[in-house]
């Protein structure tokens, strides 16, 4: 009996197959222009990679902003709930989840069973999200995946504007003045950390912190976040799948309950 979780994010689609013992298969692909088509594709790919028959899948749970575009799912669950559950699975000691996705960021407080106690979300402002880093990487003429690497060890140039639009102009000016890409990249990561910190402070940080979402793959960012929060920040190699894992687990719980 298999439960599938699909997290259709704004930038990346993630799918997880859970068989009651562990993760049987996982797939990630770009969401692209059509979440609907991507949903079909990621489902096929998941079955193929996991060597799973369609009939074995007893439940499909969708989450993420594009979940409404998936006609074949059995349930829809909010990202907040899924991220809480996923973080609990990956590290049961966690009480705070910080998720920075392609277009939003969230801070979620969970109880000792991974249920959501409280949360704050920013999906109105691109600052402090993956989108900010994408715009800035473009201005720096590097790939977003390189930011952490080039920034490590550099003296950060502080970026005054929180706003993505104004910060982009600042980056262009700093480059024209001859500031190094390394120092600018370090400043930009610090800017994301500061913005995340202000969201986290509004909710209040409790217990161990789990960092999830696509932006969590940036290793320097999680280090800087830990320094700023003055606490250990836990990142899993499966961090990006956190929402999909939570969705699959929630589906599985429904199956065994009834």
Main-chain phi, psi angles of 13, to 5 degrees: -100, 135
Backbone angles phi, psi at 49, to 5 degrees: -65, -35
CB of 240 to ligand SF4, least distance (A): 23
Residue appearing with tokens 């789990």: 210
Residue 213 per-residue DSSP state: S
Q: Helix, strand or coil for residue 149?
A: helix
29 vs 165, beta carbon nearer ligand SF4: 165
CB of 132 to ligand SF4, least distance (A): 7
Task: Give dist(CA 129, CA 111) in Å, integer.
Answer: 25
Q: With contacts defined by CB under 6 A, how many residues of the chain interact with ligand SF4?
A: 6
Are 209 and 96 in contact by the 8 Å Cβ rule? The answer is yes
Instruction: Return the residue of 165, 173, 201, 204 that touches ligand SF4, per CB under 6 A.
Output: 165
Q: Is 139 in the site for ligand SF4 (CB under 6 A)?
A: no
- Residue 168 CB, shortest distance to ligand SF4, in Å, is 10
Q: Least distance to its own copies from the beta carbon of 139, Å?
A: 13
Q: Which of 36, 35, 39, 37 is nearest to 27 (CA)?
A: 39
Check residue 165 for interaction with its own copies (CB under 8 A).
yes
Which of 98, 101, 122 lies closest to 110 in space, CA to CA?
Answer: 98
Q: Which is nearer to ligand SF4, 69 or 162 (CB)?
A: 162
Interface mask toward its own copies for 85-124; x: CB under 8 A = ------------------x--------------------x
Least distance in Å: CB of 126 to ligand SF4?
A: 4
Give the separation between CA 156 and CA 165, rounded to whole angstroms.
Answer: 20
* Two tokens, residue 126: 């691109």
Rule CB under 6 A: is residue 126 a binding residue for ligand SF4?
A: yes
135 vs 151, which CB is nearer to ligand SF4? 135
Other C-beta atoms closer than 10 Å to the C-beta of 174 total 19
Nearer to ligand SF4, 164 or 190 (CB): 164
Residues interacting with its own copies, by CB under 8 A?
103, 124-126, 131-132, 135, 161-166
């Amino acid at each position: 009996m298999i439960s599938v979780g699909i997290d259709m994010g704004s930038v990346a689609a993630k799918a997880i197959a859970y068989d009651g013992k562990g993760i049987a298969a996982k797939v990630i692909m770009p969401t692209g222009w059509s979440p609907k088509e991507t949903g079909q594709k990621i489902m096929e790919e998941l079955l193929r990679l996991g060597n799973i028959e369609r009939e074995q899948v007893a439940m499909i749970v969708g989450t993420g902003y594009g979940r409404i575009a998936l006609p074949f799912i059995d349930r829809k669950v909010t990202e907040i709930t899924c991220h809480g559950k996923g973080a609990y699975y990956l590290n049961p000691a966690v009480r705070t989840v910080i998720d920075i996705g392609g277009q939003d960021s969230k801070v979620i407080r969970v109880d000792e069973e991974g249920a959501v106690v409280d949360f704050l979300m920013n999906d109105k402002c691109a600052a402090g999200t993956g989108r900010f880093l994408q715009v800035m990487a473009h201005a720096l003429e590097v790939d977003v995946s390189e930011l952490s690497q080039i920034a490590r060890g550099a003296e950060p140039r502080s970026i005054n504007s929180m706003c993505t639009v104004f910060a982009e102009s600042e980056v262009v000016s700093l480059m024209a003045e001859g500031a190094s890409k390394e120092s600018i990249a370090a400043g930009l990561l610090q800017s994301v950390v500061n913005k995340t910190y202000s969201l986290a402070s509004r909710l209040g940080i409790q217990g161990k912190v789990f960092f999830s979402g696509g932006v969590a793959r940036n290793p320097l960012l999680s280090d800087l976040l830990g320094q700023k929060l003055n606490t250990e920040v836990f990142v899993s190699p499966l961090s990006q799948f956190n929402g999909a894992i939570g969705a699959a687990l929630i589906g599985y719980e429904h199956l065994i309950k009834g």
